[in-house]
Structure 1
């Protein structure tokens, strides 16, 4: 994979840059990205490929708001989630969050879910699941004793991962288990070989917006 990066300057007080990705088969995708202010991070991604491309670009930033993720409070506007198998792939369609450890429609401590007896939590050693957003904004709110993060997005789903398998080794040697949580705004992974939802047609524009606001 070849990658090139060009920064054009600033627009509306935000950095403006273009990232070009080209694989070994000559498929080219251009990604337009906006930067940040002190109180807000706006990820505004636009991409166009010159060939039929499987494309589901996502950001994996981890947040802790000055505390461990297990001690943070989470509210998530999702009525359904996708149970997964041992390899973290969906294997049984959508299930309602009601009555499960995955019900964050009302604010609750993340650690309460991580220590539950839910079979899916035990399978993945924590939260490592796609949540189907219900369209209410903000999509999610994460809060500590001193700080709050709200996330808005046009993505249909958020994949949440609480660092279940991190142990201060490898590429993530600066983070341990449950030290942070990520909200991956994307199309949810599909069962089987159906990639229709993440197939970008030639010269079709991909657009993903993720808005993080800090208080």
Structure 2
């Protein structure tokens, strides 16, 4: 089932719904506002952080639920070189470019359409970034497709440009399986199929080096509480005031990441075709009220930003996100919801 409603003259909401899951999406930023799933007792609750009112998403300093890009993450010194040309970008984060700059896709009103059949409901969002916007080259067309089928929500990303450019899109939802943000995520258990992370500098920008997770707080190769090691004495944790790192995925198992809340019984399994997932433990919450009327607190949610490796400093991972003229960028991530 698909339900459409108007918030105001510009902002609309699309709800994808079946008897297991409902997903509420705004055309502002193609934002996932709510994902409602049952717990072990049959109570259906929202498992992503949501603002109290939709107007808060216009500012949205934490990028709640939004599609971020052109390039997710931080580009060191707000510049990169492609085909011998140096591109100066918006410097919207301490002299660096974060999530595409001041006019990234999280701030745009997207066009949309939707469809449904007996098995699946789908919403397709399209947007455009003109050549030079934010400093990036190429007229870039983007399409994001949300599909709900049974207990699985998939997000497919497509993009094309009339010039060689760079693209690295992701969704910035903050998950909290307790339901309606009843508890923070520190007691929830996390698994990540990864042997190494990207080292970050003091500005949270990849240096180009990798660090083994072995015998560190970043080892989630077995289910472990998010809060078990988050306050340990480790330079990388001190830099980010928690987790905010790209884990390089091994691609060995059926799923790339798993989140478990034992109290509610909810389980979320993540599968992606991307090389990495940035898990961000909401270390710097904003001051806008959430749907429960409370202001978000540190570690109230955790992001699973599936993507290719962030650009970092000195274009260290740039090659992985180059989109050639008239070629198609594509990626897919699926979230599967269960309960014990």
Same fold (TM over 0.5): yes
Question: Residues 202 and 106 of structure 1: is their aligned pair in 2 closer, same or farther, counting only changes over 3 Å?
Answer: same
Residues in 2 aligned to 1:183 and 1:4: alpha-carbon distance in whole angstroms: 22
Q: How does 1:41-120 map to 2 (within 5 A)?
A: 41-66=153-178, 67-91=183-207, 93-120=209-236
The SS at the match of 1:83 is strand
Shift of 1:79: 0.4
The SS at the match of 2:331 is strand
Residues in 1 aligned to 2:113 and 2:144: alpha-carbon distance in whole angstroms: 10
TM-score normalised by L of structure 1: 0.90
Residues in 2 aligned to 1:170 and 1:82: alpha-carbon distance in whole angstroms: 31
1:153 equivalenced with 2:272 (yes/no)? yes
Question: Residues 181 and 32 of structure 1: is their aligned pair in 2 closer, same or farther, counting only changes over 3 Å?
Answer: closer
Shift of 1:207: 1.0
Moved more, 182-191 or 56-65: 182-191
- Bigger Rg over Cα: 2
Shift of 1:187: 0.8
Residue 315 of structure 2 is matched in structure 1 by 193
- The match for 1:144 among 261, 265, 270 is 261
Residues in 2 aligned to 1:80 and 1:114: alpha-carbon distance in whole angstroms: 17
Residues in 2 aligned to 1:76 and 1:124: alpha-carbon distance in whole angstroms: 19
The SS at the match of 2:206 is coil
- The match for 1:169 among 279, 282, 287 is 287
The SS at the match of 1:141 is strand
Give the conservation status (yes or no) of the 8 Å contact 1:30–1:49: no
The SS at the match of 2:228 is helix
What is the alpha-carbon root mean square deviation over aligned residues?
2.1
The SS at the match of 1:41 is strand
Shift of 1:174: 4.7
The SS at the match of 1:94 is strand
Residue-by-residue CA offset, 1:116-166 (whole Å, 9 max, x unaligned): 111211121100111000012300110011110000000000011000111
Give the conservation status (yes or no) of the 8 Å contact 1:55–1:198: yes
* Unmatched 5+ stretches in structure 2: 1-102, 133-137
* Unmatched 5+ stretches in structure 1: none
Superposition misfits of 4+ residues, deviation over 3 angstroms:
1-4, 170-174
Q: Across the two proteins, how many residue pairs are aligned to each other?
A: 214
